[in-house]
A and B are shown apart, each in its own frame.
Chain A
Amino acid sequence: MSGDTSPLLRVDDLVVDYRLARGVRFRALKGVSITVGAGECVGLVGESGSGKSTLGRALLGLAPVESGKVTFDGQDITHAKGTARRKLANDIQVVFQDPYGSLDPTMTVEEILAEPLEVTGTSKKQARAVVAEMLDRVRLPGDAVHRYPSEFSGGQRQRIAIARALVRRPRLIVCDEPVSALDLTTQATILDLFIDLQRETGVAYLFISHDLGVVRRVCHRTSVMYQGEIVESGHTRAVTEEPDHPYTRRLLLAAPVADPARQAERRAAWLGLRDSA
C-alpha cells in the first residue's frame, strides 16, 4: 500500500481525442479527474458514448491521450510505452465485457492463464502452481486447465478472464462492463466473486458499468459520466440514492425496479422530470 494519503491511481484532467476520417476529431474525454485508492472499488457509470470505457482504455495505454496526467503509485504513466508500459502489467490488469471474445479460442485455459506469467520468465512449474491457485480462487475446478474457452458457459469464461487478470497479482484491475453480457443469476454470483477477491487479495477495481444497480452492489465510490465528462462523484450510496446532478437523477429514475408498485411511483417521477425538462 502506498499510504492512505496518496491514492493508488490518480487521473488529472485527462483528455482523449479519437481521430475519425479526414482530420475530423472526436473528443471522447473532456478533462476527467478521478482517484482510486488501494483496495478500493470505484465505479464509473454512464451510457454508451459517455466515455467511460475510453477512460479505462486510456489507463491501459489503449487510447490516445491528448493531455492530462495519469499517476499510478506516484509514477507518471500517462504516456508509458514499450518496456515501461509492459512493466505496468505487474500492477494493472483488465477484465472485459465480452466473455466470448476476451479469451483466445485456440488456447487451453492453462495456456491462457500461464501466458502473462511466461512473459515475465516464470518457470513452467511455477506458472502451473499459480494457475491452479487462481482457478481455485475464481471457484473453477482444477480439471478446467486442459479445456478450450468454447467448452465453458459465459459465466465460467468470465471467471477465467478474472483469473487471467489475477495471475500477475496486480494492484488494480480495470473492469469494463464485466457482467453486462451475463444472465441475471450469473451476474449476481460474479459480482459476489469480485467482492470476495477484493477482500482476499486487496486489489483495487475501477469498475465500469452502465447499470447503477451493479455499481451500487460492488463499488465504494462512484462517478457518473455524461458526454465525456464526470458530472457527479461521491460515495456510492449517496450517488445512487440521492443524486445531486439532474442527469444522474434521470438515469436513476429511468432504470426500472423489479417491484410493480415502486416502479409505478418511479415512472411517475420520471415522467414528471421529463416533462419539466
Chain B
Amino acid sequence: MTAAPFPTALAPVKRVSLLRRFLRRPMGVIALFLFLIVVFLAVFAPLLAKFDPNHVDFNLVYARPGNGHVLGGDSAGRDLYSRLLYGAKTTLWGALITCVAGLVIGVPAGVSAGYFGGTLDRILTWISDALQSVPAMIVLLVVAAGSGQSFPVLMIALGVFLAPGYYRISRARAMSVRREPYIDAARVSGMTNARILRTHMMRAVYPPLVVQTALTAGIAIGMQAGLQFLGIGSASTPSWGQMMNDGFRNILSYPILLLWPSIILGVTVAALALMGSTLADLISVRAEQPTPRLRAKARQWMATPPAASDLPAREPSGMHAHQIENCALRVDNLRVGYATKAGLKEVVRGVSLDAAPGEVLGIVGESGSGKTQTSFAVLDLLPSGGTAVADGIWIGGKEVSRLSAKDRTALLGREIAYVPQEPLSNLDPCYTVERQLVEPLRRVHGMSKADARKRAREVLVRVGITDPDRVLRSYPHQISGGMAQRVLIAGAVSGRPSLLIADEPTTALDVTVQAEVLELLRELQREYGMALMIVTHNFGVVADICDRVVVMKDGRIVETGAVERIFRSPEDPYTAELISASLDDADGRHELDEAWAANGSSAAEGRSAAHAAGEDGAR
C-alpha cells in the first residue's frame, strides 16, 4: 500500500483578535476614545446639561462663561454648553439614520450585482454611477425645501447619496469572491444562491463594510453640518452646523462662538475617519510596505547580525567549478535577507556557485528554496525590503558586489539579461511591443530609432515569430502567452548579453510551447555563446538543457554537479527524493493496481481495476 506519509503535528499558530490588534494602534485608540466621549456626551446630554438648549435668556446674549453656564451664551441668549451636547445627539442620530439608509440600499444591491452580474449588474451600476454624478448638495437642498424640514427624511436622502459608496465596495468584493473556486465548490455541494449570499458573501463583504461605515459616518456628519450651516433643519433642534452659522455671522465681533462647535465637529469627523483608516489597515490583505527604517535595519543585520540572533551557521554552501577569470558568473557566499517586524528572515543562507561562458547552469529546488531570490540578487533586482550580502559576485570576471546601485544597473541589458516566468504580466500593458523592445535599445545602447526598430524586428524573426510587423504593433493583451515569452526572450537577447538568467521560463507555458521555448533558449545560448542560468523546479527541464546543476533547499545548496552525475548517482538524499518525485519512471496506475492486487487485496476492492479492464474495448 502506498500510504501517504502522515504530516507531522501542525505548527502552533498565534491568532490575535481584530479588536486587540486595533487597540495596539495608538492612532486607533485615541480616535476610538475621542469618539466614545462624543457618544457619551450625546447619550447623557439630558443629565449632563442643566439648561434647556432652546431656552432664551436675554442676560445670556453673547455672555462669557459663568453662572453655571460653562461656555457662556450664543447670539440669541441660549446656553452654549447645552446646545453643544444636544447638538451631539442630533448629529449622531442623523449619522446613524444616514448610515443605515446607505447600508440598506447599497449593500444588498451591491452584493447581488457582483454575484449575479449580467443585466442586473449593468442596471444597478448605471444607477449608482448616476447618483454619484449628481451634486448631492443641490438635490438635498431641493429635498430640504419641501420636506417640511423633516430631519429624518433629509438624513435618509443623504443616505441615498452615500449608498453608492457601499454599493461599489460590496459589488467589488462580491465580484472577486464570486470567481473564487470556493464559491463554485459551495454550489457543487448543493447550496442555494440565497445561502451562499448569506454565508460566504456576507463574510467576505463584512470587514470592508465596517471600514466604509466609519468613513461614511464621518462624511455624513460633515454634510449634515453643512446643510444645517445653510439654515436647513428646524430651528428648535440644536445642531453644530447651526451653531457654526451663528458664530460665523459674528465672526468679527464674537469669533469665540465658532470655537466650540468647530472643535467638536472637527474632532468627531477626524476620529471617525481615523478609526476607519486604522481598521482598513488591519483588514487589508495588501502586503505591508517595508518602511525605510526596516530596510536600513535589514542591511545592518545582514552585515553584522545581532548578537542574540539564533540564525543558523553562516558558512557557505555549494562549490565552484571554474577559475574566477574563466567565469561568466561567480557567486561567493551569497546571503539574502528581508527585515520583517518579527526580525530578520534569511531566505538565501550562504550560496556559492559559478558558470562559465557557454555553460548552462540549472538551479533547481521547490518553492521556498531561495532559487529565485538567488537570481534576483545576481541581477540586483530584489523586491523592496530585500538585502543581499556576498563575499563576492563576479560578472564577466569583474567583481560587482561592491559597486554602487547605479553601476550595477549599468550591467543590466548589456552584460546580464533576464527572462521571467509569467510572460503576460512581464510586459507593460500600456505600451506596444515595439515601444518596449525599442526603448532599451535606444536608451541603453544608444541606437537611433530606425536602427533600434530594425534590430527589434530582426530579433523577433530570430526567436521564431513569423509575422514580426503585426507583433510589433500589438499590445501585450493582443498576443498569446507563448508569443509573449518569445517577445521577452527577444528583449533579453537583443542587447547581446554574456549572461542570461531565466527564472522558470517555461513553467507558465503549455507543454508543447515549453518544448519550443527550451529549444529556442538552447539555440540562442549556443549562437551567442552566452552563459545561461536557468531556475526551475522541473527535473525534466534540467535534463533537457543543463550542463551542470545546483540543488537548493531552504536557502542553501545541498548538491552541485554535472547533470549526468546528478541524475545517475545523486549524493544527497534530498536530490534523490526530488528526482524520484518526478513521475516519469514511477509506476503507472496499471502497475500500481497489479502490485496491490498481488498483495492480497480482497476481490471486492479490486473491482475498480477489473472494471477498467472491461472498458478497454472503448478504444
* Interface positions of A (Cβ within 8 A of B): 1, 4, 7, 35, 37-41, 47-48, 57, 60-62, 85-90, 92-94, 96-98, 101-104, 106-107, 115-116, 119-120, 139-141, 143-144, 147-148, 151-152, 155-156, 161, 164, 168, 183-185, 187-193, 195-196, 198-199, 202, 210-211, 213-214, 216-221, 233-238, 240, 250-251, 253-263, 267, 270-271
Contact with A along B498-542 (1 / 0, CB 8 A): 000000000000111011001100000000000000000111111
A28 to B481, CA, bound (A): 19
Which residues of A lie under 8 Å from residue B13 when comparing CB positions?
147, 151
Task: Give the residue of A164, A183, A219 whose beta carbon is less than 8 angstroms from that of B185.
Answer: A164
Q: How far is the CA of A217 from the CA of B181 in the complex (A)?
A: 25
Contacts of A147 in B (CB 8 A): 10, 13
Inter-chain contact B619/A234, CB cutoff 8 Å: yes
Chain B, residue nearest A188 (CB): B581
- Asked if B611 is at the interface of the complex by the 8 Å CB criterion, the answer is yes
Q: Is the CB of A260 within 8 A of B607?
A: no
| Dominant secondary structure at the B interface | helix
A137–chain B nearest beta-carbon distance, Å: 11
| Given A37-B615, A255-B511, A267-B544, A139-B7 contact (CB < 8 Å) | yes
B186, B510, B544, B589 pick with most chain A CB within 10 angstroms:
B589
The answer to whether B181 touches A96 (Cβ under 8 A) is yes
Do A183 and B184 form a contact, CB below 8 Å, given A40-B612, A216-B589, A258-B584? no
Give the distance to chain B from A77, nearest Cβ to Cβ, in Å: 13
State in angstroms the CA–CA spacing of A24 and B383 once bound together. 42
Within 8 A of A (CB), among B312-354: none
CB atoms of A102 and B185 under 8 A apart = yes
Interface string of B1-23 (1 = CB under 8 A from A): 11111110110010100000000
Question: Count the B residues whose beta carbon is within 8 Å of the partner chain — how many?
Answer: 77
Q: How far is the CA of A120 from the CA of B615 in the complex (A)?
A: 35
Among all A-B residue pairs, the 10 with the closest Cβ atoms? A89-B190, A256-B540, A220-B612, A234-B619, A39-B608, A116-B189, A213-B583, A258-B539, A254-B515, A47-B510
Q: Is the CB of B584 within 8 A of A116?
A: no
Which residues of the other chain, A, contact B61 by a CB distance below 8 angstroms? none
Contact with A along B575-605 (1 / 0, CB 8 A): 0011101111111111011001000010001
User: How far is B186's CA from A92's CA once the two chains are assembled, in angstroms?
Assistant: 12
B182: chain A residues at CB < 8 Å are 101-104
Instruction: Indicate if the CB atoms of B181 and A271 lie closer than 8 Å.
Output: no
Q: Determine the chain B residues whose CB is within 8 A of the CB of A202 once the complex forms.
A: 605, 607-608
B467 sits at the interface (CB 8 A)? no
CA distance A143 to B331 in the complex (A): 45
- The closest CB in chain A to the CB of B6 belongs to A139
**Bound-state Cα–Cα, A228 to B586, Å:** 30
Q: Out of B195, B200, B512, which one reaches A104, CB within 8 Å?
A: B200
- Chain B contacts with A in 550-580, Cβ cutoff 8 A: 563-564, 567, 577-579
A40:B581 contact, CB within 8 angstroms: no
CB <8 Å contact, A256 and B512: no
Q: In chain B between 1 and 48, which residues have their CB closer than 8 angstroms to a CB of chain A?
A: 1-7, 9-10, 13, 15
Hey, which chain B residues are within 8 Å of A156, CB to CB? 7
Interface: B256 (CB within 8 A):
no
- The chain A residue sitting closest to B610, CB to CB, is A4
Name the CB-closest residue of B to A220.
B612
Determine the distance from Cα of A191 to Cα of B583 in the docked complex, in whole angstroms. 10
Q: Which residues of B lie under 8 Å from residue A62 when comparing CB positions?
A: 184, 187-188
Could you say which of B2, B188, B539 contacts A94, with CB atoms under 8 Å apart? B188
Partner of A217, one of B514, B588, B607: B588
Interface residues of B in 168-214 (CB under 8 A from A): 180-182, 184-192, 195, 199-200, 203-204
Known pairs A196-B1, A235-B616; A259 contacts B585 (CB<8 A): yes
A81 to B582, CA, bound (A): 41
Chain A residue nearest to B591 in the complex (CB): A237
